[in-house]
Amino acid sequence: MGEVKFDAVRRLVLGLGCERDTPAQEVLALAEQALREAGVSGEALAAVASIDSRTNEPAVLSVAAHFSVPAVFFAAGRLEEETPRLANPSATVFARVGCHGVSEAAALAAAGPNAELAVAKIKSAHATAAVARSGLQKA
């Protein structure tokens, strides 16, 4: 995982989960919807985050490139640590990947221990997205 750098403008992390080979345009549309729901533009993003099984997933990497931010990834065990902070924990997701949520957990994990969800999990046909706001005041 890379270190996420926050500043006065870039204080949000977009968490993404998706099925393998989900079209990049579907994930990007969902990401843009999540940002609209947060009331921000892509300029507010510090990173895109997901589970480490998606490290080479073209759709996730495409969204990070679109917003010119790093993609950071977490092991399922690390994401599971975020379960108490999830708005939408899922036993189904746990059975599939070993943690109770990917998009919310990844966003929170990357945004830090004082982060909060700005947008809880939203879904498209094959993906999920969530937005977390860093609790840090500055970089």
For residue 101, pLDDT beyond 80: yes
> For 32-53, what is each residue's pLDDT tens digit?
999 999 999 999 999 999 999 9
Query: What mean pLDDT value characterizes the chain?
Result: 94
Query: Is 136 or 67 the better-scoring residue by pLDDT?
Result: 67
For residue 54, pLDDT beyond 50: yes
pLDDT score of 136: 64
Q: Give the domains, in start order, of the chain with CATH numbers.
A: 15-128 (3.30.420.180)
> For 67-96, what is each residue's pLDDT tens digit?
999 999 999 999 999 999 999 999 999 999
Secondary structure of the chain in HEC code, one letter for each residue: CCCCCCCCCCCEEEEEEECCCCCHHHHHHHHHHHHHHHCCCHHHEEEEEEEHHHCCCHHHHHHHHHHCCCEEEECHHHHHCCHHHCCCCCHHHHHHHCCCCCHHHHHHHHHCCCCEEEEEEEECCCEEEEEEECCCCCC
